[in-house]
């Protein structure tokens, strides 16, 4: 099965904000990242985009630069299971049965996590909301706590790029380091740079599984973009470039939203 970029999808991506757009090029980020972190205007951020679109990489980099917390829903759920709490035990049963965790539980856990001290300066949410109903529940619960998402960064990457990124991805089973056969090669072919362990391919990083994940994304998760769009919070960006180019663009938007008409 081959995935090609449809004309409409390609032109959509070409027309969204890119790292080399005139607005982005008109801004030079301060070299002093501490100074930048203090001046950042938008700090409560939802990162949207397809699987393999670079959400986790972007959120990790931004969280480190801005001193805000990065909540990856998968990590948050795994931490709850590991804690051995009553909730963690019931989550483990659901996940062991291979079922999706009901979104009400995800929202509860995420909202609790967002009220911890490390999230006081802001947050990056990656991996949820995955459905419109979940987005509605999340924002309603946050509003009750007087917290509101300030921007939804929507990473636009064509399906054909995602296919190439995910199929070439290799993982170190020991330390979790991620490599790519074309874009991020290890120093020694097939071995982790950090510990020499033989790299593996995740079982769900193959063409047919990726095509299925993209189909689910377009049907169920992509409408979440519309939810944030209707609230005037969505900014779509062209995320086909390198991770550092994408991060620089997002930092510019968070620092000078006025320049981008936001
Ligand atoms: Zn390793």
Q: How many domains does the chain have?
A: 2
C-alpha 199 – ligand 1 centre gap (Å): 8
Cα 92 to its chain centre, rounded Å, is: 24
Are residue 220 and residue 102 in the same domain, yes or no?
yes
Helix (H) and strand (E) counts in the chain: 12, 7
Compute the distance from residue 173 Cα to the ligand 1 centre, in Å: 7
Q: Clarify whether residues 96 and 194 are in a common domain.
A: no
In a domain, 262, yes or no: no
Give domain status of residue 23, yes or no: no
Instruction: Looking at the structure, tell me whether residues 123 and 183 fall in a common domain.
Output: no
Domain co-membership, 64 together with 117:
yes
Going by C-beta distance under 8 Å and a sequence separation of 6 or more, which residues neighbour residue 236? 16, 17, 154, 156, 225
What confidence tier does 147 reach under pLDDT thresholds 50, 70, 90? very high
pLDDT score at 4:
43
Does 56 fall in a domain?
yes
153 and 188 fall within a common domain: no
Cα 178 to middle of ligand 1, angstroms: 8
Structure tokens that stand for 65 in this block: 């630069």
Give yes or no: residues 185 and 98 share one domain. Answer: no
Shared-domain flag, residues 181 and 151: no
Catalytic positions: 55, 130, 169, 202, 213
Residue 230 tokens, joined: 């209707």
Over residues 230-239, the pLDDT tens digits come to 999 999 999 9
pLDDT band at residue 12, thresholds of 50, 70 and 90?
confident
Are 197 and 229 within one domain? no
Q: Are 114 and 123 in contact (CB under 8 A)?
A: yes
Same domain, 235 and 248: yes
Is residue 69 located within the same domain as residue 176? no
Q: Which residues are placed with Cβ below 5 angstroms of ligand 1, an ion?
A: 172, 174-175, 177, 192, 194-195, 197
Model confidence pLDDT, tens digit, residues 167-190? 999 999 999 888 999 888 999 999
Whether residue 97 is contained in a domain is answered as: yes
Give the residue with greater pLDDT, 186 vs 242.
186
Asked if residue 100 and residue 226 are part of one domain, the reply reads yes
Residue 98's alpha-carbon distances to 13, 127, 185, 205, 239, in angstroms, are 34, 18, 33, 18, 31
CATH number of the domain residue 86 falls in: 3.40.50.300
199 shares its domain with 211: no
> Is residue 108, in this structure, part of any structural domain at all?
yes
Cα separation of the two ends of the chain:
40
Determine the structural domain holding residue 200 and report its residue range.
Answer: 169-204
Is residue 92 domain-resident? yes
CA of 187 to the centre of ligand 1 (A): 12
Pinpoint the alpha helices (H) of 102-242.
Answer: 103-114, 132-144, 159-167, 207-216, 223-230
**What was the pLDDT predicted at 10?**
52
Tell me, yes or no, whether 72 lies in a domain. Answer: yes
**Distance from Cα 208 to the centre of ligand 1, integer Å:** 27
Instruction: State phi, psi for 240 to the nearest 5 degrees.
Output: -80, -20
Is residue 233 within 8 A of residue 149, CB to CB? The reply is: yes
What's the whole-model pTM score?
A: 0.85
Residue pair 38/28 in contact by the 8 Å Cβ criterion: no
In a domain, 196, yes or no: yes
């Amino acid at each position: 099965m081959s995935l090609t970029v449809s004309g409409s999808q390609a032109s959509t991506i070409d027309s969204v904000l890119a790292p080399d757009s005139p607005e982005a090029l008109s801004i030079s980020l301060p070299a002093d990242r501490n100074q930048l972190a203090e001046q950042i205007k938008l700090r409560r951020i939802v990162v949207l985009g397809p699987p393999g679109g670079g959400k986790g990489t972007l959120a990790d980099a931004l969280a480190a630069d801005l001193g805000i917390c990065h909540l990856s829903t998968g990590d948050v759920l795994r931490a709850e299971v590991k804690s051995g709490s009553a909730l963690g035990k019931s989550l483990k049963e659901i996940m062991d049965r291979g079922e999706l965790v009901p979104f009400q539980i995800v929202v509860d856990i995420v909202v609790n996590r967002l009220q911890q001290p490390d999230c006081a300066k802001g947050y990056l949410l990656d991996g949820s909301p995955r459905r419109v109903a979940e987005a509605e529940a999340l924002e309603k619960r946050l509003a009750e706590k007087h917290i509101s998402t300030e921007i939804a960064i929507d990473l636009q990457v064509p399906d054909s790029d995602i296919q190439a990124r995910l199929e070439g991805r290799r993982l170190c089973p020991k330390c979790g380091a991620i490599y790519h056969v074309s874009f991020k090669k290890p120093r020694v072919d097939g071995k982790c740079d950090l510990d020499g362990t033989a790299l593996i391919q995740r079982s769900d990083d193959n063409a047919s599984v990726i095509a299925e994940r993209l189909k689910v994304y377009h049907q169920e998760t992509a409408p979440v973009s519309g939810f944030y769009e209707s609230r005037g919070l969505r900014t779509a960006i062209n995320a086909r470039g390198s991770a550092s180019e994408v991060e620089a663009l997002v930092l510019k938007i968070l620092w000078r939203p006025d320049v981008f008409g936001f």
